[in-house]
């Protein structure tokens, strides 16, 4: 069967055991999808440094709840302005998975982790996201990426893991456990969101997921702000505004649309570059030391991305 392509309006994405990238991974649609997913990765790469800025003035629970409320208000305004239809009943379960994984779980667990971890160390979670997202997608949609795809994905993940773990000394801490939990639930949210983005525009997927969280986020914000002291600074305000508008809404809009055009598994491999981008932002924005091994890791990761982008699903 076919469903309407949320990006172009054409009923061209095949469903039923094949990844969306099979139909949309080549030509103009493939280039456009890669560009959009890449913009999403750039937005996400700023999330950890922006969160570190936000923690300068907010407590972890306040920061997460405030960013959720602000992003939900942006999303709700866009949905109203563009008169987006209410999702069908069959879509709400999937939207709840996106909300739990991408809107609530990942921001909360990574924010808690960044209380004790540096942004460069926390980047290990996004190094593992491509592999886990592709695995969740394969289980959820029945997609069957090629052996070359999996080999390159595993190699890229191994490079990122080795690089980040070597820099942190390989110790497993409470922060690492938060990051591991964030990895799993975010991958599930990405995969489910990518599946939904084949049936409705990606911006509506994240928009409705954000709105779904609003009844929980508003009272949580009120409670958190009364318990955790807030000290507003230029960094803390800029940080919370970016994670709300850039990471939580606009970044996910272009990310889900990109996944709809080139497929969940293939788009997820672009995230292999995200930890290295995060390291660059960490140096520029936070003054962290950039490891000497970073250029070598960057080249290896880019090679893996090139291989995964050229491989086809079966």
Residue 163 and residue 297 in contact, taking contact as beta carbons nearer than 8 Å? yes
Q: What angle do CA 191, 193, 197 make, to 5 degrees?
A: 120
Q: How many CA atoms does the CB half-sphere of 147 hold within 13 Å?
A: 0
Supply the pLDDT for residue 28: 66
Supply the pLDDT for residue 1: 31
Extract the runs of DSSP E, i.e. beta strands, from the chain: 2-3, 13-14
Report d(CA 287, CA 282) in Å as an integer: 6
Report d(CA 68, CA 87) in Å as an integer: 20
Supply the pLDDT for residue 8: 32
- Alpha carbon of residue 168 to chain centroid: 23
Report d(CA 308, CA 148) in Å as an integer: 7
Q: What is the pLDDT along the chain (314 residues), one digit of tens a residue?
A: 333 333 333 222 222 333 433 344 456 667 888 899 899 999 999 999 999 999 999 999 999 999 999 999 999 999 999 999 999 999 999 999 999 999 999 999 999 999 988 888 788 777 778 778 777 877 777 777 788 888 888 888 888 888 777 776 776 678 888 988 998 899 889 888 878 888 888 789 989 999 999 999 999 999 999 999 899 999 999 999 999 999 988 888 888 788 778 876 777 778 778 888 888 899 899 988 776 777 788 788 878 877 776 765 55
Supply the pLDDT for residue 171: 64
- Joined together, the tokens standing for residue 34 give 């890669």
Torsion of CA 77, 82, 85, 91, to 10 degrees: -60
Supply the pLDDT for residue 302: 76
């Amino acid at each position: 069967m076919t469903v309407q392509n949320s990006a172009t309006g054409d009923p061209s994405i095949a469903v039923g055991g094949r990844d969306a990238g099979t139909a949309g991974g080549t030509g103009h649609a493939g280039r456009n999808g890669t560009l959009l997913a890449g913009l999403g990765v750039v937005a996400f790469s700023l999330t950890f440094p922006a969160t570190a800025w936000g923690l300068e003035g907010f407590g972890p629970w306040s920061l997460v709840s405030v960013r959720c409320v602000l992003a939900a208000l942006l999303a709700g305004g866009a949905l109203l302005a563009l008169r987006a239809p209410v999702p069908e009943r069959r879509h709400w379960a999937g939207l709840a998975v996106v909300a739990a994984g991408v809107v609530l779980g990942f921001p909360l667990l990574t924010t808690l982790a960044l209380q004790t971890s540096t942004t460069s160390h926390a980047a290990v979670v996004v190094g593992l996201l491509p592999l886990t997202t592709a695995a969740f997608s394969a289980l959820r949609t029945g997609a069957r990426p090629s052996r070359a795809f999996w080999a390159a994905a595993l190699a890229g993940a191994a490079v990122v893991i080795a690089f980040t773990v070597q820099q942190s000394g390989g110790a497993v801490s409470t922060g690492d456990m938060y990051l591991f939990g964030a990895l799993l639930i975010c991958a599930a949210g990405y995969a489910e969101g990518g599946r939904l983005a084949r049936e409705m525009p990606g911006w509506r997927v994240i928009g409705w997921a954000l709105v779904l969280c609003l009844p929980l986020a508003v009272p949580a914000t009120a409670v958190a702000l009364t318990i955790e002291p807030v000290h507003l600074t230029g960094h803390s305000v800029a940080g919370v505004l970016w994670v709300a508008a850039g990471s939580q809404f606009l970044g996910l809009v272009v990310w889900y649309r990109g996944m709809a055009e080139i497929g969940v598994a293939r788009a997820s491999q672009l995230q292999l570059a995200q930890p290295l981008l995060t390291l660059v932002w960490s140096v520029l924005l936070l003054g962290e030391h950039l490891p000497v091994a970073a250029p070598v890791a960057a080249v290896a990761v880019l090679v893996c991305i090139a291989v995964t982008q050229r491989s086809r699903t079966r």
